[in-house]
Structure 1
Amino acid sequence: MTNIHFIINPIAGKGIRYLSMDLLKSIFNVEEFTIVIKYSKYKRHATELTQNSITEDAHIIVACGGDGTINEVASCLINSSVKLGIVPMGSGNGLASNLNIPRKILNSLEIIRKQEVIKIDVGRVNQKYFFSNTGVGFDATVIKNYESNNKRTLIGYILACFTSINELKHPKKLKIHINDTQFEIDPFLVFISNSNELGYKFSLTPKASLQDGLLDVLIITKINKLKMIWFGFLVLIKKPLLLKEAQYYQTKQIKVQNKKQDYFDTQADGEFLKIKNETLTIHIDTKALNVISPILA
């Protein structure tokens, strides 16, 4: 018998989401699968539920929610034989889209039933795992503002972007260590990605791959508000690197230092995160997670 646990964020995306036992039994034959359903109730609760499922000998743990829920579940499964399944229920669903997992629940459940597994790379910023992206600067400010409003939709992201343009305070003189070089910048954005999609089909790192053993890094120096709007347009047309101030790298590790303060305002997989350290060390763990997914395009 395959022991499969579903960890569901019921308020992911646009509203209340539930998966009934009857629906799951219609996909997963009870003669082959033991089905357990758990609902998260607060931030980080999905991590607790996942840890409990591991002690309960789950063979597959399915994260049902957005990138934040997937992060909480998947962070417990690094270098484990337990397989991660994904039912995308969030607003952006960037990682699921990069993995070619469909948004329709029945279709994503059918993929999980087939149990075709691939190994993907995992990013880590200090001791925090990320699977899609992390960053310092504008994107972290956007996520902070997005979390403070109640609109878990594309409109909510757009409103958070405009709010962030008006209030962004640039970190001063960050020192970057990457590919045996060092330099200092006043950044608008330092964006580090493991996947090629943010969500809603937007991308800042179109060359990124979940399986190439590399992080893709986009660095943009301080720009004025007019150029911020121009950059937003370039993102919409999927050509962010046309911005003159943009620099693009691929690397296994990057260090970001800030001597002016002992913390960073960052984001990881669309969740705001304050890291109390003057140095961020971001690196890649290759092929560290077993994910049930169609073959990557």
Structure 2
Amino acid sequence: MNALLIVNPTSGASLNSNLLPDLLEVFKSQNLEIEIEQTTPEDDGQQIAAKASTNGVQLVIVAGGDGTIEAVVRAIANTQITLGIIPLGTRNNLAASFNIPNNFHQAVRIIKEGQISSIDLGKVDGYYFLEVVGIGLEASLFPCGEDVKEAAKKNAFAPIGSIFSGLKTFFAFHPHRLTLRLDGKLKYHPRTLQVNICNSPRYGAEIFLAPHAKMDDGKLDVIYMNRSSKLDHLRHLFSAMRGQPFEHELLRTYQASKIEIESYLPLEVHADGIYIGQTPITIEVAPKALQVLLPTPKLLAEFADQAGSNMREDNN
């Protein structure tokens, strides 16, 4: 099979200079022949993948984090290209949603022996996303989060200004009246701080906002709190970050294949952490739009046995 490996050299685990040679040795041991391209500040992987698509590449493997995977997917969505994943990022939310372990030896086994499955993508005003769309407070806070990450690269005190900016945004933000139309039929008029449309069970800082979301059911999960306080909102967020269920009379969850959202005042919108504009917006599921290599039940059982053996060895 004609295969391309796209490596993000700045992903969390990729910062280890010995990783790429080790990774190539694993591919060699599995008798997998691949070409290699690396992302750059000018190309996050989308252009590389788009070129591969026109050159007849059948398998694109991403060695990186969620952002790199999402960039590549935007180029290969609704094509015959199959995606392979080697999780090297900080969070690896997508790999976790797909049951792909962080151990890259096992991830390469999945590429060699896994099963090709078709999964859904989300689409908002022509823009594909894998994880989530956020409308309102979350989208307004995302630039502050990016500023914190960039400032942290300079020194330990540099992020302080960005943190204060984020706090100012949080306390100044007020609930807004929205109109949600689901599948062209059901209509809701919540007053809320934010609405999330989830395709995957978790996103961001390992936030399990839609723990029961499935990426192959032809539906997107709609989550918001109606007329909630900021304290309720924070409690919901912290519960989701811990992966704990959150029961609250103001919490609303729905499923739909098409969601139309309007607001009296324009609200900012992000898709997988990238600012894409303001309301009004239309979000739709793109069913079976991506082919991805996933572990078989046999491989999952084998990996579980290996983890159990390693744990027993550590305890001895």
TM-score calculated relative to the size of structure 2: 0.79
For structure 2, the residue ranges without an aligned partner over 5 or more in a row are 154-159, 301-316
Alpha-carbon shift at residue 282 of structure 1 (Å): 0.6
- Between the aligned partners of 2:134 and 2:106, the Cα distance in structure 1 is 32
| Corresponding residue for residue 179 of structure 2 | 175
- Between the aligned partners of 2:189 and 2:43, the Cα distance in structure 1 is 35
Distance of aligned partners of 1:139 and 1:13 in 2 relative to their CA distance in 1, 3 Å threshold: farther
| Corresponding residue for residue 268 of structure 2 | 265
Question: Does the CA contact (< 8 Å) of 1:28 and 1:113 recur in 2?
Answer: no
SS at match of 1:108: helix
- Between the aligned partners of 1:93 and 1:47, the Cα distance in structure 2 is 18
Alpha-carbon shift at residue 97 of structure 1 (Å): 0.3
| Corresponding residue for residue 249 of structure 1 | 254
Question: Does the CA contact (< 8 Å) of 1:142 and 1:161 recur in 2?
Answer: no
| Corresponding residue for residue 156 of structure 1 | none
Q: Partner letter of residue 83 of structure 1?
A: T
Question: Does the CA contact (< 8 Å) of 1:97 and 1:199 recur in 2?
Answer: no
- Between the aligned partners of 2:7 and 2:44, the Cα distance in structure 1 is 10
| Corresponding residue for residue 66 of structure 1 | 65
Alpha-carbon shift at residue 226 of structure 1 (Å): 2.6
Distance of aligned partners of 1:3 and 1:161 in 2 relative to their CA distance in 1, 3 Å threshold: farther
Distance of aligned partners of 1:109 and 1:198 in 2 relative to their CA distance in 1, 3 Å threshold: same
Distance of aligned partners of 1:106 and 1:61 in 2 relative to their CA distance in 1, 3 Å threshold: same
SS at match of 1:75: helix
Larger radius of gyration: 2
Identity value in percent: 27
Q: Partner letter of residue 266 of structure 1?
A: V
Question: What is the CA deviation profile of residues 70-108 of structure 1, one whole-angstrom value per residue up to 9, with x for unaligned ones?
Answer: 111012222211110111122221111010011122221
1:122 aligns with 2:121: yes
Question: Does the CA contact (< 8 Å) of 2:2 and 2:58 recur in 1?
Answer: yes
- Between the aligned partners of 2:9 and 2:112, the Cα distance in structure 1 is 22
Q: Which runs of 4 or more aligned residues in structure 1 lie more than 4 Å from their structure 2 counterparts after TM superposition?
A: 159-166
Alpha-carbon shift at residue 115 of structure 1 (Å): 4.4
SS at match of 2:254: strand
Map 1:27-176 → 2, pairs under 5 A: 27-28=27-28, 33-42=32-41, 44-150=43-149, 164=166, 166-168=168-170, 169-170=173-174, 172-176=176-180
Question: Does the CA contact (< 8 Å) of 1:234 and 1:242 recur in 2?
Answer: no
Map 1:202-281 → 2, pairs under 5 A: 202-239=207-244, 241-261=246-266, 264-269=267-272, 271-275=273-277, 278-281=279-282
For structure 1, the residue ranges without an aligned partner over 5 or more in a row are 153-158
Alpha-carbon shift at residue 187 of structure 1 (Å): 2.0
CA RMSD of aligned residues (A): 2.8
Alpha-carbon shift at residue 162 of structure 1 (Å): 8.8
- Between the aligned partners of 1:182 and 1:147, the Cα distance in structure 2 is 34
- Between the aligned partners of 2:58 and 2:240, the Cα distance in structure 1 is 39
- Between the aligned partners of 1:52 and 1:17, the Cα distance in structure 2 is 28
